[in-house]
Amino acid sequence: MRSIFEENDVVCAEVRGFQHDGSLHLQARSQKYGKLERGQLLTVPPYLVKRRKQHSHHLEQYGIDMILGCNGFIWVGEHTEARDDMVEDQVNKSEQDNSKSSRRSMSLEEQERIYTPFETRQNICRIANAVRLLSSLGFNLTVEVIMETIYASISLNLDVHEMLGAEFSVQIAEREVERRSSLAKKR
């Protein structure tokens, strides 16, 4: 296990069960689970994230993956395609037979491969700031509410750091009041 993961790695998995000694049994049934890289891990109060059928979301227009965990952990990171680790392991094993000097050059190529473009990093920060803002206001976190907050910030032409300001916070709170009052009138 230590050859795959290091301490402080962020991992997405399902809880399969608990043992009497308090330890967990985790499972990763499909390619959507595993080590999470190139993103931000946020922590919010767990009651803000409601249990839903789908907790993993691909925000295609931003090239971002978002996981809303019922435990209050939210991952916002660069979109990664599901890959077949068995095929990848066979390719990597044949490449490992090369000399140490080629391994050093591979690490440079690896760094280039995992480089996250500036626009993607900005999108990660914009989405993360939307989550932070909604959490500070005590709003339930759903993809729809997060996306509305992102659209509002873009429509107001705000920089990423301006999303956490008091003015935008008040505007988002007012929008939520209007939305809830219109829902109440429809009933």
Within-domain flag for 102 = no
- Say whether 20 sits in a helix, a strand or coil: coil
* Residues 2 and 29 occupy one common structural domain: yes
- Say whether 61 sits in a helix, a strand or coil: coil
Split into its structural domains, the chain has a count of 2
Contacts of 128 (CB under 8 A, 6+ apart): 40, 42, 76
Range of the structural domain that residue 132 is part of: 42-83+117-186
* Residues 73 and 127 occupy one common structural domain: yes
The CA distance from 102 to 40, in Å, is 32
Within-domain flag for 28 = yes
Contacts of 182 (CB under 8 A, 6+ apart): none
Within-domain flag for 98 = no
* Residues 2 and 21 occupy one common structural domain: yes
* Residues 69 and 130 occupy one common structural domain: yes
Within-domain flag for 176 = yes
Residue 79: which pLDDT band, with cuts at 50, 70 and 90? confident
pTM recorded for the entire structure: 0.74
The CA distance from 89 to 99, in Å, is 18
pLDDT digits (tens, 9 = 90+) for 17-50: 888 887 777 766 656 666 666 789 999 999 999 8
- The pLDDT assigned to 74 comes to 93
* Residues 10 and 46 occupy one common structural domain: no
pLDDT digits (tens, 9 = 90+) for 123-160: 999 999 999 999 999 999 999 999 999 999 999 999 99
* Residues 176 and 143 occupy one common structural domain: yes
The CA distance from 49 to 74, in Å, is 9
